[in-house]
Chains A and B, each alone.
Chain A
């Protein structure tokens, strides 16, 4: 049985705590009495994954077995999660590769000719051929790329169909190919509780017209949190859309869950609790920290982008969307949830080099905010880890760097919008339509590998709840000018940051640190 999550109380015997610091690390000696939250150890991975997939396809939840749904002459669309999952990308074979091969094997056996495989990237950047190949595997790639295996295009007006409108007035517009299929099979990786369920098809294969109903400030402000679907307005909206969609479309969902082995050797020390570091772990840390500290940033980025996670698959569930997702969520929480007693005044989080939107790319300042205030802040159920009016202290260098191919609209957002206002509501009112409909951004999204023009605004909205809730946000080691543009403050050291925070939360605050990697969900009682 794997070890459950743990809340450490820092005392004089506690070694320094490791924090991600972009493409580097920091060891910080925390004040006595601080709490550090550690996620559970990895759950046991499935030994015979092929057998588990076969079993899931033969015994789906609330659905006929997959073989009974496949027949010659049918129109079959298979969709899968894009490169934003999992993080870091998984060592080959990716869980999706194995599931896709089983599905396609059965489709071939049933004599299905009309098969198309779509990367459900929504408004994310289209993936490169190499990235798709890594996800789907060599066999699938060579059989279907590029005509029958491709990125979804949310701006292809001819390829989109309006399904209808929910009782809340939300338009559901998705891929025409998917909608006109006899069966859509969706293959996902459920890394965190936010993923999967009805968020897969209506979002992954949906257009801006659909997404704007839940990717907006009002909805995201009422999603408390994204990691707790029953308390998330965004998920409620997705559920309404998904239910409407499934009235006219048969969806067979296959969800996979992973353990939390994010880093293998030689970086496996990152996963260990500090007091369990061996001499070798300490030496590896010291070497890694020294090397990354002195390495050119491009080289460092290249080094980190080559890291592949040795994730193990802990569950495969197939069948009807909601029944499948309920079981999936249980598995995700088993792996990630930690019970925490009460809120704190200050929340500490080290932000890693990779997030969902900068795989093989650069984590630009907007994405840093999304990572810290959007994701890390929201990794809770019940109540946030920090009290209203409290302070969040993040560790990240926040360099003023952008990937010119992947994030063109981010540059404009940073240079033109943020100097004018950092208020998500005002940004939405004044700038969203312009960014969403700009022809140049649309062109880059469709023909290059750029994120959709509206994407940086969505990232900013993602942080809206935290911005409203927190009294102060401080980036330790952050570039002063960049952080200031974002509307936050930077500090050189943790001690400085705590001193700055004392003006907001007093001189003897209760401090809680999230120890990442791996990811965790705090159940705050």
Chain B
């Protein structure tokens, strides 16, 4: 049996994902995290070091590379930590952007959920991710361990930053939310703060490891805190959270009022038909903003 060299190379390049970060098979990921290494760098020394890294390095760096606009922080004034921040996710910029957009007092008590197979696969990466972002590992495949860990952190007074889509958007539009965030918030009876992150897909989409030149415009918009209604199931609560994030995203494109109207009429802009060609969705997602959003439309 003769197999051509090119066939062998093709098979291996696909199988071992040459040129890309290699992801572990799901069952390996589960097995590893069941007995794996989870650094916990939340002591006073590590927290101090992280504060310095975030304030003196990360925040200025993001400011240098991005034109950042943060709105809605006033909503945090009416609530007490811990809370669950729930945001859409389309770029590796999202976590540092959201984290550094928070007031320092909040940021110091925030932990970020990070994919265990991606950020906790080897020791050095796990330590670096934990130190800089105060990250904790979460399995993307719906296992219980991440939920337990997240619940424990809330019990200890840490606010969580979660991206319930589970992975970065492939086309810049928000995907479906997994119900884990809603479930944890409901179980622990803590408020959920919806957050919309706009422009990060254009600034640094999948496959890029540094923002594009020219200080691209990115926006962070915090919404008002939400709690599960009496008798509301986790799935229903999850749907409500997702819709609120969608409204916030729409608000960045249009106005608060228009976004509310669209929501009421059930026609929030969620991009072209999900079955449309991939390029069309990317095309729309990367359309340059027409101008800064205003509270009320110009008449």
Contacts and interface: CB of A to CB of B under 8 A. Distances in A.
Contacts of A437: none
B257 interface: no
Contacts of B8: 27, 286, 289-290
B24 A13 contact: yes
Contacts of A282: 12, 16
A29 B28 contact: no
A480 to B, nearest CB: 12
A289 B3 CA distance: 10
Contact of B25 (A10, A29, A286, A492): A10
B5 to A, nearest CB: 6
A6 B28 CA distance: 9
A397 B2 CA distance: 12
Contacts of A27: 8, 11-12, 15
A13 B25 contact: yes
A16 B9 CA distance: 12
A225 to B, nearest CB: 26
B296 to A, nearest CB: 48
A277 B16 contact: yes
Contacts of B15: 15-16, 27, 29, 274
B11 to A, nearest CB: 6
Contacts of B22: 275
A50 to B, nearest CB: 35
Nearest to B22: A275
A98 interface: no
A427 interface: no
A8 B12 contact: no
B80 to A, nearest CB: 41
A22 to B, nearest CB: 11
Given A290-B5, A492-B1, A275 B12 contact: no
In this complex, the interface size class of chain A, counting residues with CB under 8 Å from chain B, is 20 to 34
Nearest to A289: B8
B23 interface: yes
B3 A293 contact: yes
A7 B23 CA distance: 18
Interface in B1-45: 1-3, 5, 8-9, 11-12, 15-16, 22-28, 31
A471 interface: no
A180 interface: no
Contact of B2 (A10, A11, A16, A293): A293
A13 B31 CA distance: 15
Interface string A1-34: 0000011111101111000000000010100000
Interface residues of B, number: 18
Contacts of A397: 1
A493 to B, nearest CB: 9
Contact of A275 (B2, B5, B9, B25): B25
A264 interface: no
Contacts of A275: 22, 24-25, 28
B85 to A, nearest CB: 29
A356 interface: no
B25 A14 contact: yes
Contacts of B23: 13
B16 A11 contact: no
B27 A9 contact: yes
Interface in A322-379: none
A477 B1 contact: yes
Please indicate which of the listed interface residues A10, A275, A290 has the most CB atoms of chain B within 10 Å of its own CB.
A275
Contact of A286 (B9, B24, B31): B9
B14 to A, nearest CB: 8
B247 to A, nearest CB: 34
Please indicate which of the listed interface residues A6, A15, A16, A477 has the most CB atoms of chain B within 10 Å of its own CB.
A15
Given A6-B31, A27-B12, A11 B26 contact: yes
A286 B5 CA distance: 9
A15 B16 contact: yes
A13 B26 contact: yes
A11 B8 CA distance: 20
Contacts of B16: 15, 277, 282
Please indicate which of the listed interface residues B5, B11, B12, B25 has the most CB atoms of chain A within 10 Å of its own CB.
B25
Contacts of A286: 8-9, 12
B10 to A, nearest CB: 11
Interface in A442-458: none
A15 B28 CA distance: 12
A293 B1 CA distance: 8
Contacts of B31: 6
Given A6-B31, A274-B15, 12 more contacts: A8-B25, A9-B26, A10-B25, A11-B26, A13-B24, A16-B11, A16-B12, A27-B11, A27-B12, A286-B12, A290-B5, A477-B1
24 contacts: A8-B25, A9-B25, A9-B27, A10-B25, A11-B25, A13-B24, A13-B25, A13-B26, A16-B11, A16-B12, A16-B15, A27-B8, A27-B11, A27-B15, A29-B11, A29-B15, A275-B24, A282-B12, A285-B12, A289-B3, A289-B8, A290-B8, A397-B1, A492-B1
